[in-house]
Amino acid sequence: AQSVAQPEDQVNVAEGNPLTVKCTYSVSGNPYLFWYVQYPNRGLQFLLKYITGDNLVKGSYGFEAEFNKSQTSFHLKKPSALVSDSALYFCALQTTGRRALTFGSGTRLQVQP
Amino acid sequence: GAGVSQTPSNKVTEKGKYVELRCDPISGHTALYWYRQSLGQGPEFLIYFQGTGAADDSGLPNDRFFAVRPEGSVSTLKIQRTERGDSAVYLCASSPSASNTEAFFGQGTRLTVV
């Protein structure tokens, strides 16, 4: 069985500081990894994905994520947080031959001015 | 262009009643997904359509849940004999046919069973 863990329910960071939202996964086979963001009263929005190749993936709004196979992690990062980044972030996993996404439980990011 | 549209945005129904939730995917997207999101949790997969056929329905919790996509575009999720535990936000998503592409999500239908 495959699973995604987001160990932090909430992350607090000051505006302008770097942020990290953690994600680890468990799967047999090669993973395809995604980050989505959910703003209040809006649908889930795609941020970035890792399929293959370079372990550092760059996405929307200045976000990036690093795939680490040995640690089975895919942490989301941003060098300088904005108040507008405050939202609910979900890590998700897909595997070869199956289109369904397995989501983590989400991490609420709160950026303080 | 238009995104994924779900109607209604909110639905309140009595326990035991039948409900239908509608999803209009992005035009040209052959893949369509239904997920269910309970409060404080991530979305949980229900069913995936490729064209008109259900390619993976392994996430449907029981036989009270059924979904159709008769013309390969609009999809309807049907829930019979609703229970209070069915209360959740039901999310629809669509994507192009190729695998490993990101899915585009609608805003969801919030179902409350009283």
Full domain range(s) for residue A55? 3-112
In a mutational test of the B interface, the residue from A36, A99, A103, A105 whose CB has the highest number of chain B CBs within 10 Å is A99
Q: Which residue has the higher pLDDT, B87 or A29?
A: B87
- The per-residue pLDDT for B1 is 54
Q: Which residues pair with B105 in a beta bridge?
A: B93
CATH code at A85? 2.60.40.10
Q: What would the mean pLDDT of A52-62 be, rounded to a whole number?
A: 92
Q: Are B78 and B57 in contact (CB under 8 A)?
A: no
Per-domain residue ranges of chain B: 5-99+107-113
Q: Do A41 and B93 make contact, defined as CB atoms within 8 angstroms?
A: no
Instruction: At B60, list the tokens.
Output: 């449907």
Q: Is B100 on the interface with A (CB under 8 A)?
A: yes
Q: Is the pLDDT of residue A77 over 90?
A: yes
- On average, the pLDDT of chain A sits at 94
Contact between A44 and B91 using a beta-carbon 8 Å cutoff:
yes
How many domains is chain A built from?
1
Residue B27 — left, alpha, or beta (φ > 0 → left; ψ -120 to 50 → alpha)?
beta
- Cα–Cα distance between A1 and B50 in angstroms, integer? 23
Query: Does A15 score more than 70 pLDDT?
Result: yes
User: Is the pLDDT assigned to residue A43 strictly greater than 90?
Assistant: no
Span of A34-38, A50-54, B47-51 with lowest mean pLDDT: A50-54
Q: What's the CATH superfamily of B5-99+107-113?
A: Immunoglobulins (2.60.40.10)
Rounded mean pLDDT, B19-30:
96
